[in-house]
Amino acid sequence: MSLTSRITMLAVAMLLFLTLPACSQDQSKSTDADSSSIKQVFTDVYESFSRHDAHAAAMTFAKDADFTNMRGMHSHGREEIEKWLASLLRGNLAEAHRTDIVRSIRFFNAAVSGG
């Protein structure tokens, strides 16, 4: 291998070595912001649910969301989800209150999943 090739390889290696920590720091900042957003959505859902506000709880879902409850009942779209929540909050869960805690969040990305 020529001296020029060795110097070029060394330069590339050093460049990669120096930029990797910066990339991981940027990813960490992004992950922290995403984690905060996810936690806020959970807070919005359980606070709305505890206030028995089906509309506010449904607004935390995407307009075209799909929701399947523990019994396998499926709702498609924010409007259907709101109707389902409203019926629950008028019925069996009229006195219900939620307190949800996000214990951990794990992100998957191409580097981790091998994709």
For 26-52, write each residue's pLDDT tens digit: 556 678 889 999 999 989 999 999 999
Pick the CATH number of 34-113 from 3.90.1150.10, 2.30.30.40, 1.10.20.10, 3.10.450.50: 3.10.450.50
Instruction: Name, in order, each residue with C-beta under 8 angstroms of 103's C-beta and a sequence gap of 6 or more.
Output: none
Which tens digits make up the pLDDT trace of 71-108?
A: 899 999 999 999 999 999 999 889 998 888 889 998 88
The full set of domain ranges for the chain reads 34-113
Look at the alpha carbons of 66, 68, 69, 74 in this order and tell me if their dihedral is positive or negative.
Answer: positive
Note the pLDDT of residue 76: 96
For residue 39, the SS3 value is helix
Q: What is the CA radius of gyration of the chain?
A: 23
Q: Taking residues 55-66, what's their average pLDDT?
A: 95
